[in-house]
Structure 1
Amino acid sequence: MGAVEDERPTQGFFGSSSAASFIRQIKTAVDERVSPPDRRTSDSILGIAPSSNLLSAKTPRPSTVSNYVLPPRKTADGLIGVYWSFVFPLYPLVDSIHLRAEYEKIWTGETLYSDENMLMCTFNVTFALACQLADFIPPGEREASADAFFSRAKDLLQFNLWNTGSAALIQCLLLMAQYLQSTDSAHQCWIVTGLAIRNAQGLGLHLPQTVARLQNPQEQQLACKIWHGCVLMDRVISMTFGRPAMISTAACASVPLPITVDEEYIPTVAGSEVTQPINQPSIIAFYAKSLELYEILNEILLSLYSPTIEETPEDIYNFYFDKESNKGEHTIFELDRALSKWSRSLPPHLRGEPCPGSEHTVFYHQSVVLRARFLHVRMLLFRSTLSKYCTARDIGASDPLTSLRDSFPHRVALQCSTICVKVAQEIIGLIHSNLPMDGSPGPLPAWWYNILYIYTAATVLIAGRLCPTILEEVTEAKMTQSWNCALEVLRKYHSYSTSARRCVAALEILYERVASEGPLPNLYPPNTFATTAGPNGLRDSSFGGSIDSAFLGGLDFPDFQDMSWLNSVPSNLF
């Protein structure tokens, strides 16, 4: 989820949708509160010590049989089963029919149709990704086991920067980027995603004529899935790090979305009809709807989170909603309408209505993940207004006829802010209620996405807690309940990742600091925070949880009228 190790090279620039300024200021406190992760390399299911570099610094050696070593068949089958069950239905970036056949040939010794080196590299990445989700591996051992496979994959990846890539290389790089999301390797995830995109563009996959020239429908659909896999990762990484997307909206739209027909029903002969059987929902429909959703996310980032020159707004309309000066951007109302239209367009099997006894079927899994993604995008849509609402004091105060609280834009901003808080509560409730107790992924997104969603929602709760007008519509009791559920989820992920531990520490420090500020002048009535004086003058709060005041000592906290901390994400805990 982010760069958290000590003494690492700089992670580079982080933009406005990440806004890491607050997180940097509490780095010392978080480091003191969270001990370094205990990496159990000796307990890896492979017994191989993990490596720390993305690409081996040594000169690539010629492939030999020893490089192709695989885990025991039972372990390999278990891991590849996790990939096909929990990863592929959400990210169908490979030709599953071809890859399944090649997997069987590896064990039987038959001749492979693929490049052996790239194939073994791809399988090791899938094993690494599956290790992070496999319930038969104890959570404390997953990181070491996964890194062992990923280290082997890096040795097998003989990537030459000067040569043209291949479709197999792009697929492998996208899988690597997926895996790196589960690690502390933020910079490597960013770079690998960029490599995949540049290689795809080098092959012309971003051009509709390239897809049209392919020989049969199966190849055409695979090309579409690979290109839009690059688009999807580009959007997700851009949102997480607050950096500019590499792929423009026009480049994304030029290649049609993959058709909602599963692989086994796509013919290999050109000119044949491509249809999904009646009464058989398509697994690929989830992928297509996710791509549509993340394109709305991209518009939100471009319209509401792009860097702008700081200017004093002339009136409250400009402060909240005016976009006339930024041509090509969309208003919050247009973006919300786009999300509503997207939601109404979902097919029945992706609406989150499980059939009796099928809570963990692939379609219910997809519907829960899609719901979580939608709520997160909607929360980001309204979060910028919430941030402004928490700091709006004198805007429009000079109007002799209309008070600030009675003005139309202020009322609309209040509703947007309230919606943001309610959406945050909803996503916390969704994840908390579906969190399996056995360590399996269950119907939820991968745990690293859950950390991102919960952390983002928790910061929204803190911001909403600052405003009594929001608490009039969202009761304090429900806010506290959501807060406790958020921390409970993050604490359940303590053994999975350092990021979860750092998120809990950061949230507690953040809330305690907000609470210690007290009610902001001229806006909030006394006793906004139900706190009592504690040691060293700090107050304990049931909402934020207690925290040692030593963690706050000596820190130069920002003015909490600056809400940049609201836009921070776990990837910036470094």
Structure 2
Amino acid sequence: MATITAMPGGARADARISESDVFYQRGLGLCGSEILRGTTLEVVQFLLLMGQYLQGTQKSVQAWTVHGLAVKAALQLGLHSRNASKSFPPLEQETRKRTWYGCVVLDRTLSMTFGRPSSIPDYYVRLELPSKRDFEKSSAFVDDETSYLSVSFFNSTITLYKQLWNILDLLYGQNIGCDTPLSVSETVAHIFSMEQHLFTWERSLHPSLQLVSTTILNQMPLDQTFPSPQYFSWKFRVILTLRYLNLRVLLHRPVLVKFIAASRYPDRDPQDLKILQQIGMNSMQIVTESAMEIIDIVSRVVLEPGWKQTFNAAVVLIGAVWVYRDTALCNTSMTAQAKKVQQYPARAVMALSKLDHGNRLIDRCRYSLEQFNKMLVDPGKFPFQNGS
């Protein structure tokens, strides 16, 4: 994990992946016979690391399979159960709890990323959140303040991803693919409710974990020392902000999809279209602003000098430009917004080009965005524009 996630700017991604695979194969050789047994906490932790590693190497089939083994082993050991853990010493109780929440967070991440049903239903997640205990000793690398902040960061991610579960449940049918599509009014009602939950989550954040913006980042001093509580605070804030913005894009994207569907068919229902235009434009505004903010933050981190050393957001913006150009759907006041949004796919391409080198997934994303961006420059290449 340390090798493959090493900070870009040194070895190329393909070289890091090749080097890290040596350690992965060694680990698999040493622990392979224990995986199917799943009878110890250490096996679950090993499987979690494997799942995270495989996700980072774009081996989605293997990542999903290994994650399934981790969840089954965790359930077998009762990591999800307060009663099953109460006989253990406090330190092991906390370790079991954190390992269980590691399974939960990875489950939500993989479900969102791969578009598959979750392996852990939300009603299985009943344990209290992890806590910083007196038995945890500070180390030379991480001081007590950073250790406490790390637990708060983990908890903020857990509670945010509970909202991710709700979004996947209410708007995406848990990726099962059997539900009847929601009406515009139903979709907007769910979105409004979820926005209130996200607002409550944001207000609950620890002061050192408050969300950031590109404006705040531009004011940040570039001489943050590593390691220090200030360094980790900024790092955690940026990560939480990107996760939050990604959820807002996921939350409001169904409205964008409905606008795109309306632009493709000339025989669209006038009444349905009227409702969409009346109550859907706010979601269009939020989804485009969130996507632009993601690209701005990533660009700030990977492009600006002085920093130590996105595809989904850009695709959403391309869809938004498509909708904004349909004057039958959007009024002329959206023209300025369309011009602003149109600049961002190229900005995303530039950010991806600096994000990592030799990473095949990033290279494919960048190439696809380049092709989409060419279509934006030449609107005649849109295959479905205005129902054609």
Which residue among 77, 83, 92 is the counterpart of 1:209? 83
Q: Once the 2 structures are TM-superposed, how far is the Cα of residue 132 of structure 1 from its aligned partner?
A: 3.0
Distance 1:463 1:279, change over 3 A: closer
Aligned mates of 2:256, 2:3 — CA distance in 1: 38
1:382-397 equivalences under 5 Å are 382-392=252-262, 394-397=267-270
Higher RCO (C-alpha 8 Å, min separation 6): 1
SS of corresponding position for 1:521: helix
Aligned mates of 2:331, 2:94 — CA distance in 1: 47
Which residue among 175, 185, 191 is the counterpart of 1:321? 185
- State the partner residue of 2:235: 365
Matched, 1:375 2:248: no
The answer to whether the 8 A contact 2:108-2:165 is kept is yes
Q: Once the 2 structures are TM-superposed, how far is the Cα of residue 496 of structure 1 from its aligned partner?
A: 3.8
Q: Once the 2 structures are TM-superposed, how far is the Cα of residue 422 of structure 1 from its aligned partner?
A: 1.1
Matched, 1:232 2:91: no
Matched, 1:462 2:318: yes
Question: TM-score when scaled to structure 1?
Answer: 0.57
- State the partner residue of 1:151: 25
Q: Once the 2 structures are TM-superposed, how far is the Cα of residue 476 of structure 1 from its aligned partner?
A: 3.9
- State the partner residue of 1:133: 6
Matched, 1:342 2:210: no
Matched, 1:301 2:168: yes
Which residue among 472, 489, 499 is the counterpart of 2:351? 489
The answer to whether the 8 A contact 2:9-2:356 is kept is no
SS of corresponding position for 1:158: helix
Corresponding letter in the other structure for 2:127: V
Corresponding letter in the other structure for 2:21: D
Corresponding letter in the other structure for 1:190: W
Distance 1:195 1:518, change over 3 A: closer
- State the partner residue of 1:333: 192
- Structure 2: gaps spanning 5 or more residues: 325-329
- CA deviations 1:297-320 (Å, max 9, x no partner) are 111111111245576x8xxxx631
Q: Once the 2 structures are TM-superposed, how far is the Cα of residue 289 of structure 1 from its aligned partner?
A: 0.5
SS of corresponding position for 1:358: coil
Corresponding letter in the other structure for 2:157: S
Distance 1:470 1:485, change over 3 A: farther
Aligned mates of 2:370, 2:332 — CA distance in 1: 20
1:536-551 equivalences under 5 Å are none
SS of corresponding position for 1:130: coil
- State the partner residue of 1:521: 386
**Which one has a larger percent helix, Structure 1 or Structure 2?**
2
Q: Once the 2 structures are TM-superposed, how far is the Cα of residue 290 of structure 1 from its aligned partner?
A: 0.1
SS of corresponding position for 1:259: coil
Of the structure 1 ranges 472-481 and 289-298, higher mean CA displacement relative to structure 2 is found in 472-481
The answer to whether the 8 A contact 1:386-1:463 is kept is yes
SS of corresponding position for 1:321: helix
Q: Once the 2 structures are TM-superposed, how far is the Cα of residue 150 of structure 1 from its aligned partner?
A: 1.2
Corresponding letter in the other structure for 2:109: V
1:275-314 equivalences under 5 Å are 282-306=149-173, 307=176
Aligned mates of 1:389, 1:188 — CA distance in 2: 36
Aligned mates of 2:331, 2:59 — CA distance in 1: 38
Aligned mates of 2:291, 2:78 — CA distance in 1: 40
Whichever of the two has the greater Rg, that structure is 1
Aligned mates of 1:462, 1:229 — CA distance in 2: 34
Aligned mates of 2:203, 2:383 — CA distance in 1: 43
Q: Once the 2 structures are TM-superposed, how far is the Cα of residue 198 of structure 1 from its aligned partner?
A: 0.7
Corresponding letter in the other structure for 1:145: E
SS of corresponding position for 1:424: helix
Aligned mates of 2:306, 2:35 — CA distance in 1: 40
Aligned mates of 1:158, 1:240 — CA distance in 2: 26
Q: Once the 2 structures are TM-superposed, how far is the Cα of residue 486 of structure 1 from its aligned partner?
A: 0.3
Q: CA RMSD in A?
A: 3.2
Aligned mates of 1:191, 1:236 — CA distance in 2: 14
Aligned mates of 1:157, 1:470 — CA distance in 2: 61
Aligned mates of 1:457, 1:138 — CA distance in 2: 27
- CA deviations 1:185-219 (Å, max 9, x no partner) are 11111111111111010101111112322222x22
- CA deviations 1:322-381 (Å, max 9, x no partner) are 279xxxxx8111111111111111111011468754376111101100000000011000
SS of corresponding position for 2:78: coil
Distance 1:161 1:346, change over 3 A: closer
Q: Once the 2 structures are TM-superposed, how far is the Cα of residue 441 of structure 1 from its aligned partner?
A: 6.8
Aligned mates of 1:222, 1:494 — CA distance in 2: 34
Aligned mates of 1:280, 1:517 — CA distance in 2: 51
Corresponding letter in the other structure for 2:186: D
- State the partner residue of 2:136: 264
Aligned mates of 2:382, 2:54 — CA distance in 1: 38
- State the partner residue of 1:118: none
The answer to whether the 8 A contact 1:261-1:285 is kept is no
Identity of aligned residues (%): 27
Corresponding letter in the other structure for 1:335: M
Corresponding letter in the other structure for 2:172: Y
Q: Once the 2 structures are TM-superposed, how far is the Cα of residue 410 of structure 1 from its aligned partner?
A: 2.4
Question: TM-score when scaled to structure 2?
Answer: 0.82
Distance 1:481 1:236, change over 3 A: same
- Structure 1: gaps spanning 5 or more residues: 1-127, 267-275, 325-329, 443-453, 523-558, 560-574
Corresponding letter in the other structure for 1:321: S
Corresponding letter in the other structure for 2:87: R
Which residue among 470, 486, 498 is the counterpart of 2:360? 498
SS of corresponding position for 2:149: coil
Q: Once the 2 structures are TM-superposed, how far is the Cα of residue 481 of structure 1 from its aligned partner?
A: 2.9
Aligned residues: 358
Corresponding letter in the other structure for 1:488: M
Aligned mates of 2:9, 2:294 — CA distance in 1: 27
- State the partner residue of 2:116: 243
- State the partner residue of 2:286: 419
- State the partner residue of 1:75: none
